[in-house]
Structure 1
Amino acid sequence: MIDQTKPNFRSYSARRAMTFVELLAVLVILGLVAGVFTVGIAGKFNQSKRELTKSQIGIIDAQVQAYYTQKSVWPPSDKGLMVLTTPETTPSSAYFLKPDQLIDSWNNSFYIIVPGPDGHPYEIVSYGADGQPGGTEENADLSSLHLRD
């Protein structure tokens, strides 16, 4: 006859190992869920930076138009957009910008190209996350000519 009062060490060890395996499975599943969530959030974060930069380009574009309306010339490429930040070149505060408004979401400067491509009088450009012309995804350039893209 089997003594029911003594614990069976073999069955206790097997149950303990199974609990550990279950714990590992739960941790793996949680890690996978966290990884998927993080990737999704990072994508939205990059997208929001691009949208914010497009908004900034729209604001700068309006200020360049106001500059042209008052002075009848476009801001020169060699001085860049900084002419919109100095009071002596902006007699009216209608198109005055703070220097930090000329920095995109990736802490890179915006650029103005005068004359712009394809017969446009100018183009305002952000070179994306890498700060270099060209690129794809978050490194792709953003332009005042393609604000709707």
Structure 2
Amino acid sequence: MKKNRTRRSCFTLIEVVVVIIILVTLASIATPLYLNYVKKANVGAATTQIKLLEDALTGFRLDVGSYPETLEGLVDNVDQNEKWDGPYIKPAIPKDPWGNDYVYIYPGEHGDFDLLSYGADGQPGGSGENADITNYVATE
């Protein structure tokens, strides 16, 4: 005598919906936390790169006697200066974490030179997450 057994081998629609709701809830909590972490990491990376560029510019000034006219002077002896002992940064001038060039102003308005990234929006000025990252304290 055989018994008819019902075997459950599939998920019900309710179970699938509950799992999807749980996953969406977890994603809605985790995504803003992750994006906030990425923003802070990008600002930290830009600050570190600016400090490294400052060190390279200082090394250039110590060897040559003045700062370069452009950041390319750190990689290549563009002025054919005999005292140039570079490259002062390898392999090339880095881009900021948002893929933009760093802005180098020599002579600077806030010191010997100004070095800055325009931040996430790529535009001068801004506040919050779009604030400029500089090698000087910006005053308004």
Question: Taking structure 1 as the reference length, what is the TM-score of the superposition?
Answer: 0.70
In structure 2, C-alpha distance between the alignment counterparts of 1:81 and 1:65, rounded to whole Å:
12
Q: Distance in 2 between matches of 1:92 and 1:40?
A: 45
Give the equivalent residue in structure 1 for 2:22.
29
Write out aligned runs for 1:7-18 (5 A): none
> In the alignment, which of 116, 127, 133 is matched to residue 124 of structure 2?
133
Aligned residues: 123
Between 1:29-38 and 1:90-99, the stretch displaced more is 90-99
- Give SS of 1:121's match: coil
Q: Matched residues in 2 for 1:96 and 1:52: separation?
A: 16
Note the residue ranges of structure 2 that are not aligned, 5 or more in a row: 1-11
Structure of greater Rg: 1
Name the structure 1 match of 2:73. 83
Q: Which has the higher helix share?
A: 1
Counterpart secondary structure, 1:124: strand
User: Which amino acid counterpart does residue 107 of structure 2 have in structure 1?
Assistant: P
Is the 1:68–1:74 Cα contact (8 Å) retained in structure 2? yes
Provide the rounded CA distance (Å) in 1 between the counterparts of 2:117 and 2:39. Answer: 14
Letter in structure 1 aligned against 2:36: G
Q: State the AA in 2 paired with 1:108.
A: N
What SS class does the counterpart of residue 61 from structure 1 fall into? helix
Separation of aligned partners in 2, 1:53 and 1:31: 33
Aligned amino acid, residue 131 of structure 1? G
Q: Classify the secondary structure of the residue corresponding to 2:136.
A: helix
SS at structure 2 position matched to 1:48:
helix
Taking every aligned residue pair, what percent have the same amino acid on both sides? Answer: 27
5+ unaligned residues in a row in structure 1: which ranges?
1-18
Q: For the structure 1 residues 113 and 81, does the alpha-carbon distance in structure 2 shift closer, same or farther, using more than 3 Å as the test?
A: same
SS of 1:112 mapped into structure 2: strand
Distance in 2 (CA, whole Å) between partners of 1:82 and 1:94 is 10
Regions of 4+ moved over 4 Å = 19-23
**Does the aligned pair in 2 maintain the 1:108–1:131 contact within 8 Å?**
yes
CA distance in 2, matches of 1:85, 1:92: 10
CA RMSD in angstroms, aligned pairs only: 2.2
Separation in structure 1 between the aligned mates of residue 47 and residue 106 of structure 2, nearest angstrom: 19
